[in-house]
């Protein structure tokens, strides 16, 4: 698998969100899975289990623990969709069966699917960088939104960046 930048994965996630015709937050990962034709099967599992990508009749399906909190379920689906999007985009990539080799990329894609950078920038312009409102709009914690806005350079440690 080729070495990819964060911008590459950011654009991969943005394209998946656009392909699912999601134009406003919050972004439901189930809509992206539906667009990709990946069924999500929710069942009660033990507390240590969150989600898994399995094959059913040669096609991918997501098993999801229905007893987990909504935020954990969304993150789990996003992570697995991240693995799937990586493999769909690069045939030389594989699913990590053991180890943590490619999980960072899937985690990054999960974050981008849940809080897409292009939407955060757009909504920040509309709502004057109000991270508290944006957190409610995207359905995430204020800390996650604040971290995202810092990562995008919208918010600085000493204040706001008003010119995008």
pLDDT in tens, the chain (164 residues): 567 888 999 999 999 999 999 999 999 999 999 999 999 999 999 999 999 999 888 899 999 999 999 999 999 999 999 999 998 998 777 666 666 666 888 899 999 999 999 999 999 999 988 999 999 999 999 999 999 999 998 988 776 556 65
Sign (positive/negative) of CA torsion 72, 65, 20, 102? positive
Instruction: Mark whether 56 and 93 lie in a shared domain.
Output: yes
Instruction: Mark whether 104 and 146 lie in a shared domain.
Output: no
User: Residue 43's beta-bridge partner residues?
Assistant: 65
Instruction: Mark whether 106 and 120 lie in a shared domain.
Output: no
Helix (H, G, I), strand (E, B) or coil at 146: helix
Q: Provide the number of structural domains found in the chain.
A: 2
Instruction: Mark whether 102 and 122 lie in a shared domain.
Output: no
Domain that holds residue 142: 116-164
Contacts by 153-156, CB closer than 8 A, 24 or more apart: 154/120, 154/121, 154/124, 154/129, 155/129, 155/131
Instruction: Mark whether 7 and 85 lie in a shared domain.
Output: yes
Distance CA 163, CA 18 (A): 25
Instruction: Mark whether 34 and 66 lie in a shared domain.
Output: yes
Instruction: Mark whether 1 and 40 lie in a shared domain.
Output: yes
Instruction: Mark whether 91 and 163 lie in a shared domain.
Output: no
Instruction: Mark whether 89 and 154 lie in a shared domain.
Output: no
Instruction: Mark whether 67 and 125 lie in a shared domain.
Output: no
In 3D, which of 83, 117, 84 has the Cα closest to residue 103?
83
Two structure tokens written together for 157:
């440690």
């Amino acid at each position: 698998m080729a070495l990819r930048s964060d911008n590459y994965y950011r654009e991969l996630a943005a394209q998946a969100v656009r392909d699912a015709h999601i134009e406003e937050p919050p972004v439901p990962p189930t809509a992206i899975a539906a667009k990709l034709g990946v069924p999500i099967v929710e069942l009660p599992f033990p507390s240590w289990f969150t989600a898994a990508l399995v094959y059913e009749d040669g096609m991918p399906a997501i098993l999801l623990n229905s007893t987990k909190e909504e935020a954990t379920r969304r993150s789990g689906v996003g992570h697995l969709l991240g693995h799937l999007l990586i493999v769909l985009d690069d045939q030389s990539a594989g699913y990590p069966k053991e180890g943590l080799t490619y999980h960072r990329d899937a985690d990054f894609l999960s974050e981008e699917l849940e809080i897409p950078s292009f939407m955060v920038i757009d909504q920040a312009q509309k709502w004057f960088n109000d991270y508290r409102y944006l957190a409610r709009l995207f359905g995430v914690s204020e800390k996650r939104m604040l971290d995202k806005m810092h990562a995008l350079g919208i918010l600085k440690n000493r204040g706001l960046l008003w010119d995008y």
